[in-house]
Structure 1
Amino acid sequence: MESHYQKTKVVFIMGATGVGKSQLSVDIATRFPAEIINSDKMQVYKGLDIVTNKSSVSERRGVPHHLLGEFEPDTDFTAHDFCRHAGSAIERIVKSGQVPIIVGGSNSYIEALVEDPSFNFKSKYDCCFIWVDVSLPVLHYSVAKRVDDMVRAGLVEEVRKMYVPEADYTRGIRRSIGVPEMDKYFRAEKDMDRTSKEMLLKASIEEIKNNTCKLVNCQLGKIQRMRYELGWLLHRIDATPVFEKCGEKCGKKAKDAWEDLVIQPTLDILNDFFRENEIFVANDTMIIPTTMIQPMGQLQVSI
């Protein structure tokens, strides 16, 4: 019987912070039977939902998410821990007849999962890597704007609630960009006049923006390493035009561009990826026959 089955299919959605990975993963997971595994090393922790930019319950649109806000903030969740928990989640998802979609910007976690021989990932799974990319000048502008949105949403107060003098910013969720940058402000704010406080807060926010842009550059460097040094086949989706139309979640033109330039090309790539097992989209319906992953009957899920 085993000779009739192909390797289990696993989809990865990758890219720098702020390119819309989480949104795309949900867009795809609402179009065929799938569940999402978070691979962002800060989003695995409980708390700081604004700082870590976790998807809200409404943004998840009923799609099951794994490793999202599950671990205590002060614990050290390592790449090895991610591999163990992600592996277990993949097995549960596959047994339920769903496709695992792994999404997040922590490329060190993804590389460890795929490349570490102790996890034997490559021999078990057939992988499709979707890389959502946005040109650097456009993305730097967008992530800076997003920081401003996070501040308006309550970033400062969120961080203040967990502020501890002499905190260790090398452990747990306190490593998140947006937390250590506020330390100087919280230390000094009680002894400063209003103008000085505003200036210091502005400087802290600017530091968050700068560090976020540095993170973007680092993430892109790791993606290029995966592509050229490790030889991964990355399917690049250029979302730049979407962001040029005022951002990933702004206006009808941007939404239409997202559908045409991001969602549809991704579905086309997944059609090719699943074609070996005759999984395809036709007439707005995803068809998954009995040869997929395990005996599960034919499913038809409306898009």
Structure 2
Amino acid sequence: MMISLPACKQAQPLLNFPKGLHMDQFIPRRQKDKVVIVVGATGTGKSRLSIDLATRFNAEIVNSDKMQVYKGLDIVTNKVKEEECRGIPHHLLGIIDPDVDFTSDDFVHHASLAVDSIMRKGRVPIIAGGSNSYIKALVNDDIEFQSKYECCFLWVNASMAILHSFVSKRVDQMVDTGLVDEAREFFDLEANYTRGIKRAIGVPEMDEYFRNESVDDDETRARLLKAAIYKIKENTCKLASRQHQNILRLQNQLKWNMHHLDATEAFLKRGVGADEAWERIVAGPSTRIVGCFLHKQDINLISAITTPPPMTTAAVIGTTNITSVAAAIR
């Protein structure tokens, strides 16, 4: 028996749903792909943790640091070194022209392409960096990203007093390894420190020193250099505090479920002890949290069991020796 097209169009539904319910509500939604996001203030160890995780979960890393996206100033912007990458591919790292203004919208576009590319290879995207405005633009403001991906947030943290001491020591190391010469390459008498990579901490602070570098007075040059280095340390500490407050604000306002990992103890240890502490209180718990996330287990339960409570500032002030771990935590 032949059925005409009009007859098909007129067929009535076999089920009548109560008012307010529709068939599409009973159709399973497409399962979202998984993305891991590592946040934290400068110096807390985001790069180290993201690489640790990438080696354990067949992952690739997408940089979300707004200064590290630019070409050049590898020391000033503290880009992860090739030998530290352990063969893990990194995206959006040192690819943008130094004079271009790379906006949040630009990041959303490029990061989305990178995440899609990683997914097509059957790998896990790990987004890591200190620029929280980039993360917010991608995760919270981009509807397409929201529709495609589910995110697991890892927040690497440390006592601010300890972190400030660490980043100050790190600046001294950066000076020893060539920060001044590297910054000099970007010095310009007409420099605009509000655009591109010249906004990076370590460039505008050196301006007065470079302008007066040719003076014959060694004492004056030494004084100006010392003042510039002090200013770099001061601004880096301010950045760390600001990033910490921004993460708290995002967590409170956007209700992101962030898994807190206090790395303070790892900063206080030396040598092998620092590595053991990092594995026990940061890398190990993060591995279990991400494993649960990827396999749809109860992340909150595992997180509560494995993540220690944050150390108070009072508990750590006066006991730190930062130099021994400065090279181990990024």
Deviations 1:229-263 (A, max 9, x none): 111111000000001115xxxx1111111111110
Q: What is the Cα deviation at residue 275 of structure 1?
A: 2.3
2:213 paired with 1:193: no
Q: What is the Cα deviation at residue 192 of structure 1?
A: 4.3
Distance 2:236 2:216 in 1: 27
User: Which amino acid in structure 2 is aligned with residue 136 of structure 1?
Assistant: M
Helix, strand or coil: the match of 1:128? strand
> What is the TM-score when the length of structure 1 is the normalising length?
0.87
User: Which amino acid in structure 1 is aligned with residue 111 of structure 2?
Assistant: A
Q: What is the Cα deviation at residue 3 of structure 1?
A: 5.3
2:296 paired with 1:276: yes
Partner of 1:82: 107
> 2:63, 2:69 within 8 Å by CA — same for their partners in 1?
yes
Residue in structure 2 matching 1:260, options 255, 262, 280: 280
Q: What is the Cα deviation at residue 4 of structure 1?
A: 8.8
2:128 paired with 1:103: yes
Residue in structure 2 matching 1:214, options 231, 234, 238: 238
Partner of 1:59: 84
2:65 paired with 1:29: no
- The structure 1 segments of at least 4 consecutive aligned residues displaced by more than 3 Å after TM superposition are 2-5
Residue in structure 2 matching 1:120, options 134, 144, 151: 144
2:124 paired with 1:136: no
Distance 1:60 1:271 in 2: 21
User: Which amino acid in structure 2 is aligned with residue 99 of structure 1?
Assistant: V
User: Which amino acid in structure 2 is aligned with residue 165 of structure 1?
Assistant: L
User: Which amino acid in structure 2 is aligned with residue 205 of structure 1?
Assistant: I
> 1:39, 1:104 within 8 Å by CA — same for their partners in 2?
yes
User: Which amino acid in structure 2 is aligned with residue 260 of structure 1?
Assistant: R
The percentage of counterpart residues that share the same residue type is 56
In structure 2, stretches of 5+ residues that fail to align are 1-26, 299-330
Q: What is the Cα deviation at residue 5 of structure 1?
A: 5.7
Helix, strand or coil: the match of 2:37? strand
Distance 1:207 1:166 in 2: 21
Q: What is the Cα deviation at residue 78 of structure 1?
A: 0.4
Distance 1:254 1:48 in 2: 29
In structure 1, stretches of 5+ residues that fail to align are 279-303
> 1:36, 1:63 within 8 Å by CA — same for their partners in 2?
yes
Deviations 1:122-165 (A, max 9, x none): 22111000000001000000000000000001000001122111
2:28 paired with 1:8: no
Q: What is the Cα deviation at residue 191 of structure 1?
A: 1.6
> 2:186, 2:198 within 8 Å by CA — same for their partners in 1?
no
Q: What is the Cα deviation at residue 104 of structure 1?
A: 0.1
Which stretch shows the higher mean deviation, 256-265 or 174-183?
A: 256-265
